[in-house]
Amino acid sequence: MESATIIPIILTSDKTHLSGSGSAKAWPLFITIGNISNNIRFSPGYQCAQLIALIPIIHGDYLTKHIAKMSGIETHHETEEFRHWSRSVVHAVIRDVMAPIERVMRNGVRMTCADGAERLCFPLLCEYIGDMPEQWLLTCLVQPACTKCLYRGTPDANDPRFTRRNAVNKINQDLANNHPRTDTHALEHRVRYRNDESVPLRALGYHPQIPFSINYPFGTGIIDAVGPDLLHQISKCFMDYLMKEWIWNLMKITWKGRGFSKAQLKMEFDSRFALIPGYTGLRRFEHGVLTKTHAWTVHEYKEMMKVILGALIGLCPSEGIHLVMEYLDVHRLAHYSCHTDESLAWLENAVDQFFEQLKSANGPFIKHGLVSPESETQKIHYQRHYANTVREKGALPSSSTDRTEPLHKLLKNAWRRSNKGKDSIDFVLKEHMTLAAFQSHIDNFDSGGASEDVESDDSKMPGFSLKDRVDVR
C-alpha cells in the first residue's frame, strides 16, 4: 500500500511600516508548513517562512485612481464599489500565488520526506495567521460578524429571543458552541441569497465576493483556517476594553458619587502603580499608567497584569475586581503551550465566568451602560472559541501574530539600505531572496569538503543563523 501524508500549509500576512514615518508600507505574505517545529517555524535565522508575495495596498494615490477610473469604479474609500473592488484585488493576488499548490491539493504530489522515504503528499491549507481586520477581509465577512460561528456582532431586531436581556448571554454562548460558521455554509448562503432581496446577504454577515479558497478540497477553506490572535485580542484588549472602557469608567462612576474628581482618582491610581515594591523581574511604573501618554506595548500590558489587582483593591468595586480576576485567568490559560482535558475545562469555565460577570443583568456594567446587553465586541467574543480551537488545531500561542512580527524586520532592514526611490520595493525583494538563498547554501554546506585548518562546526550548530554569518563577514 502506498504511504501518504499531509503537508499543513500555514499562511500569514500583516501590513507593516517600512519607514519610521509610515510613508512606506508593505503587506508581505509568508508561507511555511506545520511539519516544522513550532519553536523555529517563524525564526528569521532559519528561513522556514518564505516570502511569496507582496499584497498590493490599495489607497487613493494617483495610480490607483487612474486604474479605478479606467475600470469605471468610484475611488472613494467609503463607497461599497471601491471596497468591493479592493477585496477582489486582494483575493485575486492570493489565488494566483497559491495556484501551483492548489493544483496538487486534491491528488497530491510525490515528494521525498525528511526520513528519506518517498510519499504521496497532500498540501492543504491548515492555518492563516492574521489580525481581525485581515480575517474579515480574507473571509469576505461583514464586520463585526464572527469568523467561527453565526454570531453577527449586532442583534437581529426580529429575533424574539433578544427581547429578554438576561437571555442574551446564553444565546451568544449557544451560537458559539452549537452553530459553527463553515466554508460550506458561507458558499451556500452566497449562492442562495446573492440575488434575493428579501434576505439581504449582509444581514447574514457575508459579502458577495467568493474567497480565494473556494476550490480548496476537503473543507480546507479560509474560514476553517483563520483562528484566534492572542496578541490583538486577549492581550491588547486588557487595556483597550477591560481597563479603559469598563474598569476605569466603573471607578469614575463609583467615586464621583463620593465627591472625588477624575483627576484625584487618576492620581491615586497612578500612585499605587508607582509605589508597588520592587521585585526581581517585576516592571516598575514610576509615572503610573494613566498619565503616561505614549503608546504602551503588549509586553508592558503583561507587566501591568502582574500588579493590577494590588492597584485596584480599595478603588474598584468588588464586581470589577472579580471581572479582572476572570480576565487574567482566561489570559493565562489561553497562553498555555500545551493542554489537557482538565486545563481546557478550566479555560471554558473561566470564559463562562467572565461573560457572566460582564453581562449580568443586575451587574454594574449593564446597569451603568458600560457594555451593550445585546452584543459583544468581536475581539472579546472570540474568547468563546478558544477551547474548541485548541482541540482542533493545538495551542493558541502558535497562531498569534506576535510569532510572525520578527519576519518584518528583514524587510525593514532592507528598506533602510535602499535608495527609498520607486525601485526600492524591487531592492527589498531581491535582498530577501538573496538572504534566503544564502541561508539555503549554508544549510546544505558540506563541512567535510572544508580545509582541515578551517573550523566549520558552527554551520551545524542549532543556534547558527544567517545573522551570525553576516556579522562575521
Dist. CA 398–CA 344, nearest whole Å: 17
In which band, very low, low, confident or very high, does the pLDDT at 416 lie, cut at 50, 70 and 90? confident
Q: How does the average pLDDT of the chain come out, rounded?
A: 83
- Cβ-proximal residues to 42 (8 Å cutoff; 6+ apart), any chain: 12, 32, 48, 49, 403, 404, 406, 407
For the record, the C-alpha cell of 437 comes out as 538563498
Residues 352, 353, 358, 359: is their CA dihedral positive or negative?
Answer: positive
pLDDT of residue 333: 97
Closest CA to 228 of 175, 176, 306: 176
pLDDT of residue 354: 96
For 92-111, write each residue's pLDDT tens digit: 999 999 999 999 999 999 99
For 327-377, write each residue's pLDDT tens digit: 999 999 999 999 999 999 999 999 999 999 999 989 999 999 999 887 788
Dist. CA 268–CA 248, nearest whole Å: 12
Lowest-confidence range among 120-129, 341-350, 435-444? Answer: 435-444
Dist. CA 443–CA 110, nearest whole Å: 23
pLDDT of residue 426: 83
Dist. CA 181–CA 175, nearest whole Å: 10
- Cβ-proximal residues to 2 (8 Å cutoff; 6+ apart), any chain: 119, 120
Query: Does pLDDT of 126 surpass 90?
Result: yes
Residues in the chain, how many?
A: 473
Dist. CA 359–CA 353, nearest whole Å: 10
In which band, very low, low, confident or very high, does the pLDDT at 228 lie, cut at 50, 70 and 90? very high
In which band, very low, low, confident or very high, does the pLDDT at 158 lie, cut at 50, 70 and 90? very low
User: Which segment, 77-86, 100-109, 374-383, is predicted with the most confidence on average?
Assistant: 100-109
Query: Does pLDDT of 472 surpass 50?
Result: no
- What share of the chain has pLDDT > 70, as a percent? 82
In the chain, domain spans = 4-229+401-409, 232-333+342-384
Q: Would you list the DSSP string of 192-217?
A: HHTT-TTS-GGGGTB-SSPPTTTT-S
In which band, very low, low, confident or very high, does the pLDDT at 308 lie, cut at 50, 70 and 90? very high
Query: Does pLDDT of 156 surpass 70?
Result: no
For 254-307, write each residue's pLDDT tens digit: 998 888 888 899 999 999 998 988 888 888 888 888 876 778 889 999 999 999
- What share of the chain has pLDDT > 90, as a percent? 45
What are the residue ranges of helices labelled H in 335-423?
341-359, 364-367, 378-381, 386-393, 407-417
pTM of the predicted structure, to 2 decimals: 0.83
